[in-house]
Structures are given as C-alpha cells and as structure tokens.
Amino acid sequence: MREINVEIIRKTVEELCIKANKILPDDLVCRIGECRGCESNTLAQNVLGDIEENLDAAKELDIPICQDTGMAVIFIEIGQDVHFVGGSLNEAINNGVHDGYINGYLRCSVVGDPLRRVNTKDNTPAVIHTSIVDGDKVNITVAPKGFGSENMSALKMMTPARGREDIINYVVDVVKTAAGNPCPPMVLGIGIGGDFEQCAFLAKKALCRSVSVKNSDEYYAEMEKEILEKINQTGIGPQGFGGDTTALSVAIETAPTHIAGLPVSVNVGCHVTRHASAEI
C-alpha cells in the first residue's frame, strides 16, 4: 500500500489549472498551423494566423489563452493500492482549484446555485470524475471547460434501429446549429453507448485525448475521419467567417449499451480545448 498525502494532490491540481489555461497542448498547436497551411480561404488563413499569434502572446506575457478560463473538470485515476492521508481527497482537489484560479489570476466563473447565480469567487466546486485503476499511481487531468462551446453540446437518445450514418448526420447537424458560437475551429468529443450519463462522460473524456491519437478500433477511426471531413465541408470556417477549417479534430469513445438504446453525445470544444495532466 502506497500512502500519498493529499497536499500533493492539492499542489498538483493548482499547477495543472494554471498550466492548462496558459499553454495549449503542442499537438493542438501544430494542428492549427497545419490547417492554416492547407486553408484555401484567405480570410480563414488570417483568422488562424491571429489564433496562433494569440497563443504566442499568451505564452510570452504569461497570461491565459482565453478570457473564459472555464469550469474546472478534473479526471483522477486512483491506483487501488493507494491510500490517501492528511485529509479529504475532494477537499484537496477543490482547494487546488481555488489556489490555481486565485494565485494564477484566472477568471472565476462558477456560481454556487444554477438559479440564484451567486459567484463562488474561486471557481469551485470543480466537476470531479474519479475512477479506480490497477497499481499504486494517481493520474490527474485538469480540463478547464469554457461555456461558449459547452453550451453548443448535445445528447440524443437514439433507437438501435439507427446506425452509423444516422450518427454522422446527427453530429454534423449539431455543428451546423452551433455555427460560429463555439469559437471554431472546434474539437469534438463524441460518446456512443453506455446510458444517458455515461454517454456524456465519454464525450467529455474524448476531448482530453491528444488530437494526434485516433481511436484504436479502425472502424471508429474511419468514422472519426469521415465526420471531420463532412464537418469541414460545411464551410463554417474559423470563427464562423467561412473556410475549410471548421473542426480540428474528432474523437470518439464508446461503451457497451442496452439492447433497446443507442445514446449519442457531442461535447463541443473551441479551438483552445485545454487540458493538462500529471502522474503522482
């Protein structure tokens, strides 16, 4: 049994909150550059160039890459041979979010009640997804989620009579409805299967996958490719101004489901779909 003091968790979450909000993953930065080089629309090329300049300026000035520093979504995988000491794990995670957003001068966007709308002033509580895995390590991913893109996300409980093409058409329709609202070019996480809530979780988790990594199942890897191509044929383009680059990446995650159902969810990410990870 390995003991880990929750103070280490707090400090790690604090650091990841700041890092994720200031530095975009390298593979996503490269993808933006690749799309700019392939873009046939001059205005779209310029917009993608502006996005790259914004990323460079954020790094140089040590400031967030977007003013919406998001709701803190935390994925924590805990080895079953780990024992936490020194306090509450959930409190440590939320204290880490508090410290990251306050000490990192990040915008606090969480309200404590959905209708009374009073800001908690430290971006807590976080959305925490905990899973138990083999081993004695702890893996933490912090994924700040802005709501310009989150508000464009969708979930549909399809019947099993629907199939691959129905899912593809549904995803493309979600993107068309979103248009320029989620600050395209988008990154799309798609969940297929499970039940109502697991399907949404899969889509959120898919957004944390490296854009350079495709689904390990060739069937779904081809589906990711086809969806991306069809989305980029919509002509919405960067920031909705037209062009070939409406989406940068599509990631599909699946799970077993009930014989009577086919849940499909689409979690929309903006061009700064952020996440940072660490292993303890």
**3-state SS track over 143-181:** EEECHHHHCCCEEEEECCCCCHHHHHHHHHHHHHHHCCC
Domain edge (last residue) among 122, 145, 168: 145
* Average pLDDT across the chain, whole number: 97
Residue 38 lies in a domain: no
Q: Are residues 11 and 139 in the same domain?
A: yes
| Total domains in the fold of the chain | 2
Same domain, residue pair 205 and 141: no
252 shares a domain with 128: no
Q: Are residues 238 and 152 in the same domain?
A: yes
- Listed in order, strand segments (DSSP E) in the chain are 2-5, 71-79, 82-85, 127-133, 138-145, 154-158, 186-194, 247-257, 262-269, 276-279
Q: Are residues 115 and 176 in the same domain?
A: no
- The answer to the question of residue 179 being in a domain is yes
Cα separation, 203 vs 231, in Å, equals 17
- Report helix, strand or coil for 280: coil
Same-domain check for residues 195 and 129: no
Is the sign of the CA dihedral 191, 195, 200, 205 positive or negative? negative
Torsion angle of C-alpha atoms 206, 211, 215, 218, degrees rounded to 10: 150
Q: In this structure, is residue 36 part of a structural domain?
A: no
The mean pLDDT of 266-278, rounded to a whole number, is 97
What's the rounded mean pLDDT across residues 242-256? 98
- Residue 112 is predicted with a pLDDT of 97
User: Do 129 and 151 share a domain, yes or no?
Assistant: no
Q: How sure is the predictor about 277, in pLDDT bands with cuts at 50, 70 and 90?
A: very high
Q: What is the CATH number of the domain that holds 157?
A: 3.30.1330
Per-residue pLDDT tens digits for 4-51: 999 999 999 999 999 999 999 999 999 999 999 999 999 999 999 999
Task: Give the pLDDT band (50/70/90) at residue 191.
Answer: very high
Instruction: Tell me which of 104, 125, 145 is where a domain ends.
Output: 145
> Of 126, 145, 164, which marks where a domain is finished?
145
In a domain, 201, yes or no: yes
Whether residue 55 is contained in a domain is answered as: no
Residues 99 and 207 in one domain: no
> What are 128's two structure tokens?
């925490």
Interval 149-175 mean pLDDT: 98
* Co-location of 238 and 223 in the same domain: yes
Q: Token pair of 244, please?
A: 């070939």
Q: Is there a domain that residue 264 lies in?
A: yes
pLDDT of 144 reads 98
* Per-residue confidence band for 244, with pLDDT thresholds at 50, 70 and 90: very high
Please report the pLDDT score of residue 178 as a whole number: 98
The domain of 95 spans 2-22+65-145
Portion of the chain with pLDDT greater than 90, in percent: 100
pLDDT confidence of residue 21: 97
Q: Is residue 49 part of a domain?
A: no
239 and 153 in a common domain = yes
Longest distance between any two alpha carbons in the chain, whole Å: 59
Q: What pLDDT band is residue 68 in, cutting at 50, 70 and 90? A: very high
Q: What is the pLDDT of residues 209-235, one digit of tens each?
A: 999 999 999 999 999 999 999 999 999
Instruction: Report, as an integer, the average pLDDT of 155-167.
Output: 97
- Dump pLDDT digits (tens) for 99-156: 999 999 999 999 999 999 999 999 999 999 999 999 999 999 999 999 999 999 999 9
204 and 140 belong to one structural domain? no
Shared-domain flag, residues 160 and 247: yes
Residue 58, domain member (yes or no)? no
